[in-house]
């Protein structure tokens, strides 16, 4: 029995290496996905679902001058007859070919219903609520559809075109991105003016150099505009795309600087167009809202209901635009790999029938135009040959009718024939007609024969002969005819460019401003505002506040010391700090997570972060002091305040770079806060009265609340609002103040 089963198993399977089977199966599947789903054709620039949608629309009887149909009906036609891969992908492709913000040249009309708003992130309504039809540009793809090669659809019930071939190289028309299994492709879109001009020049000058073509094709074009950034790498990448089929381009939005029309803000930047990769929704609802909450900017979006972008951005300094806004409008990129499906005509050796084999290629500009020209020439040759044959059929019919009206007695003999034999004798022997011509005469009604006018028929014959001669001429001069087609397309559908190339964008001049740096009490996050004074937005419950113009040194929450500039901190982050030293500060005084006061010298310049705490300690509070400062006051046990002089700090210092020094405290005493004290600062108690102590030595100065008041101060009022006051204003409004953050004893730039 065992041998019987073994024999049956050997008869019913073939041994094959598992890895080899996977490789073959996946390779076949990948090629199927590429050819039938994801990669556009070099001839018409369409993926199969797009081609089938356009053809199905035409096949349903839709025309540019006709009425619209429900998108659900079109989707059903496409899925049921040509593309059985799900209605979702079909409807999505129709919407993209309809929306003016996703396709540079739409192939369908956006007529009725909600087709969404791609820039705002809104998707289209369900297909049962929307209607569309093919438009004039889409109709160009089917202008000579009767001469296109056809093949059976997926179930053999109908025929569908193998490709479409409009009067221009459609592969260059709209941007296309296709991702398959192990294979992907993408190609940029262009204006019809550039496409037609470049194609005409290449047809007239087959040996044209790449440089000549670059001057005409110019560069990519996108429906939402944008600007191809002006630097050498971009120019080289653009050349690679057209000569090698691969390259990465960097884009930016376009903007202009305008006088502010809002008295609450000083400067205004207006965004006129976005670049590929940007949407109004992601820009305004994401990043801009964060800046608005920080009080850095305001914005107004006037883009709603329009295909154009119009966003006004407001700030109180040019630096806000330079540091926070403009970087979000730049350096978007597109990587192109112009992979396409090419078709090779072959003859089936068994049946003798013509068919097309598919292959994947990486197209260049010249190759794309060359392949389109070859297929367009073949299509027009077949079209004119068919037209000439049809016209010749019309010609001999007209000539037969002309003989009947001009040769005396023919109609009478036909009427007098009483038997089929007599009639056949008149038509075949007397008139000399062949069988097809005789059958045609018999189909003409007698009344029609009598009413025929020789003059009208002669005009018809002349018109047919003219059409035949013109068709024969066009068939013999295809290049001239194709160039004339290109000119007609350019004249009728060409429009101005939306995407600018290598344009220098207006940049606001950088200002020397005061950067207000505050540390939030809740999470130690650092807030940098370059529009000082900052109107108090988001600055409540502040642990620390300083004003800087240029260099800053952060005492980060995790125990490091980092050198930067205030401007750089605006652009990069987020930061979490215990305090900040500015400009000429040379000692950083810190309170660590053990509530111990430490300090270290700040090098004049350092390129790497330095540790402020041993091991993995964190920081609670920190401040920097200069050589002219008197020292710091230290909050002890949450209430008492002690003074640590600058003289003693320097006395304790032994090594200025690599060692820590500690302010020796009683074991029962712990520190929570340090505040710098300059020679001109007032140190006062909770009643605003000066505190007297020895500034030359360490000393316990108070067991109650202590405030430091400078020439300029940020204060927290009892109402919770933030205000900025000089020394006089602080003491005059003392009863309304909860907290004081001294900002320095120098004139701040306004």
User: Annotated catalytic sites, by residue?
Assistant: 129
**Cβ neighbours of 362 (radius 10 Å):** 13
In whole angstroms, how far apart are CA 31 and each of 90, 149, 340?
Answer: 20, 22, 12
d(CA 360, CA 340): 6
3-state secondary structure of 443: helix
Tokens representing residue 640 in the block: 């008492």
Q: Which residues pair with 629 in a beta bridge?
A: 678
- DSSP letter for each residue of 8-58: HHHHH-----HHHHHHHHHHHHHHHHIIIIIS-BTTT---HHHHHHHHHHH
**715 close to 739: Cβ distance less than 8 angstroms:** yes
Which residues fall within 8 angstroms of residue 140, CB to CB, at 6 or more apart?
A: 166, 167, 168, 489
Contact between residue 274 and residue 283 where contact means Cβ atoms under 8 Å apart: yes
Distance of alpha carbon 218 from alpha carbon 437, whole angstroms: 58
C-alpha of 527 from chain center: 31
Dist. CA 94–CA 132, nearest whole Å: 9
127: nearest Cα among 88, 99, 158, 101: 88
* E strand intervals along 205-266: 227-228, 246-252, 254-259
First to last CA, the chain: 101
CB-based burial label for 208 (10 Å; 0-12, 13-18, 19+): middle
Identify any residues that bridge with 354 across adjacent strands, giving them in sequence order: 347
Backbone phi, psi, residue 464, to 5°? -65, -45
Supply angle C-alpha 161, 28, 82, rounded to 5. Answer: 25
Q: List Cα–Cα distances, 204 to 198, 303, 548, in angstroms.
A: 10, 44, 65
DSSP letters spanning 318-383:
HHHIIIIIGGGGS-EEEEEE-EEEEEEEEE-TTT--EEEEEEEEE--HHHHHHHHHHHHHHHHHHH
The SS3 call for residue 286 is helix
DSSP code, position 121:
T
Whether 192 contacts 214, CB under 8 Å: no
Report the candidate in 125, 140, 139 with the shortest Cα–Cα distance to residue 71: 125
Token couple for 139: 């109709």
Question: Which of these, 429, 480, 427, 493, lies nearest to 138 by C-alpha position?
Answer: 493
Q: Which residues pair with 560 in a beta bridge?
A: 611
What is the rounded CA–CA span in Å between residue 562 and residue 569?
A: 11
Cα 745 to Cα 675, 709, 710, distances in angstroms: 14, 10, 6
């Amino acid at each position: 029995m065992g041998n019987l089963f073994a024999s049956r198993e050997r008869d019913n399977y073939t041994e094959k290496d598992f890895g080899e089977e996977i490789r073959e199966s996946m390779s076949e599947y990948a090629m199927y996905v590429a050819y039938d789903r994801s990669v556009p054709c070099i001839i018409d620039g369409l993926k199969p679902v797009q081609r089938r949608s356009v053809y199905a629309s035409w096949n349903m009887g839709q025309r540019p001058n006709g009425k619209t149909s429900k998108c659900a009906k079109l989707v059903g036609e496409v899925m049921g007859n040509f593309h059985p891969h799900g209605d979702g992908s079909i409807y999505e492709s129709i919407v993209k070919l309809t929306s003016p913000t996703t396709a540079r040249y739409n192939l369908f009309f956006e007529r009725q219903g909600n087709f969404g708003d791609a820039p705002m992130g809104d998707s289209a309504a369900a297909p049962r609520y929307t209607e569309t039809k093919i438009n004039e540009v889409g109709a160009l793809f089917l202008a000579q559809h009767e001469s296109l090669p056809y093949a059976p659809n997926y179930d053999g019930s109908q025929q569908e075109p193998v490709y479409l071939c409009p009067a221009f190289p459609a592969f260059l028309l709209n941007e296309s991105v296709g991702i398959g299994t192990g294979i992907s492709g993408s190609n940029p879109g262009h204006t019809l003016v550039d496409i037609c001009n470049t194609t005409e020049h290449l047809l007239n000058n087959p040996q044209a150099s790449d440089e000549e073509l670059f001057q005409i094709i110019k560069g990519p074009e996108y429906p939402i505009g944008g600007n191809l950034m002006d630097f050498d790498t971009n120019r080289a990448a653009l050349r690679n795309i057209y000569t090698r089929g691969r390259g990465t381009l960097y884009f930016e939005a376009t903007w202009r600087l305008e006088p502010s029309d809002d008295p609450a803000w000083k400067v205004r930047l207006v965004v006129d167009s976005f670049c590929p990769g940007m949407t109004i929704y992601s820009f305004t609802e994401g990043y801009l809202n964060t800046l608005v909450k920080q009080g850095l900017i305001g914005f107004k979006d006037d883009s709603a209901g329009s295909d154009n972008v119009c966003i006004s951005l407001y700030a109180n300094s040019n630096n806000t635009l330079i540091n926070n806004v403009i970087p979000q409008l730049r350096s978007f990129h597109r990587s192109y790999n112009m992979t396409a499906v090419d078709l090779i005509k072959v003859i089936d050796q068994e049946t003798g029938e013509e068919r097309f084999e598919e292959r994947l290629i990486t197209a260049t500009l010249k190759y794309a135009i060359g392949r389109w020209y070859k297929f367009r020439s073949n299509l027009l040759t077949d079209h004119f040959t068919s037209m000439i044959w049809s016209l010749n059929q019309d010609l001999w019919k007209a000539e037969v009718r002309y003989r009947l009206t001009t040769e005396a007695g023919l109609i009478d003999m036909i009427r007098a024939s009483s038997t089929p034999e007599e009639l056949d004798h008149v038509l075949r022997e007397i008139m000399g007609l062949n069988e097809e011509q005789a059958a045609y005469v018999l189909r003409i009604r007698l009344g029609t024969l009598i009413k025929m006018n020789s003059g009208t028929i002669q005009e018809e014959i002349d018109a047919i002969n003219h059409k035949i001669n013109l068709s024969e001429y066009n068939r013999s001069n295809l290049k001239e005819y194709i160039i004339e087609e290109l000119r007609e397309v350019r004249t009728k559908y060409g429009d101005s460019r939306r995407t600018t190339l290598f344009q220098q964008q207006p940049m606001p001049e950088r200002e020397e401003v005061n950067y207000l740096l505050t540390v939030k009490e809740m999470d130690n996050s650092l807030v940098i505002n370059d529009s000082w004074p900052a109107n108090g937005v988001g600055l409540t419950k502040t642990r620390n506040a300083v004003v800087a113009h240029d260099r800053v040194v952060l005492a980060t929450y995790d125990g490091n010391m980092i050198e930067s500039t205030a401007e750089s901190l605006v652009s990069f982050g987020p930061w979490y700090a215990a305090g900040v030293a500015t400009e000429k500060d040379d000692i950083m005084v810190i309170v660590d997570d053990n509530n111990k006061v430490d300090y270290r010298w700040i090098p004049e310049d350092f390129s790497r972060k330095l540790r402020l705490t041993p091991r993995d300690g964190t920081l609670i509070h920190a401040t920097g002091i200069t050589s002219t400062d008197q020292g710091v006051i230290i909050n002890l046990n949450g209430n008492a305040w002690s003074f640590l002089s600058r003289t003693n700090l320097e006395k304790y210092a032994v090594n200025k770079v690599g060692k820590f020094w500690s302010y020796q405290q009683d074991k029962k005493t712990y520190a929570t806060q340090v505040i710098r004290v300059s020679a001109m600062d007032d140190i006062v108690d909770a009643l605003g009265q000066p505190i007297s102590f020895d500034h030359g030595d360490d000393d316990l100065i108070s067991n109650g609340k202590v405030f430091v008041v400078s020439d300029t101060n940020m204060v927290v009022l009892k109402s919770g609002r933030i205000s900025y006051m000089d020394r006089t204003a602080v003491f005059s409004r003392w009863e309304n103040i909860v907290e004081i953050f001294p900002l320095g004893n120098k004139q701040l730039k306004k």
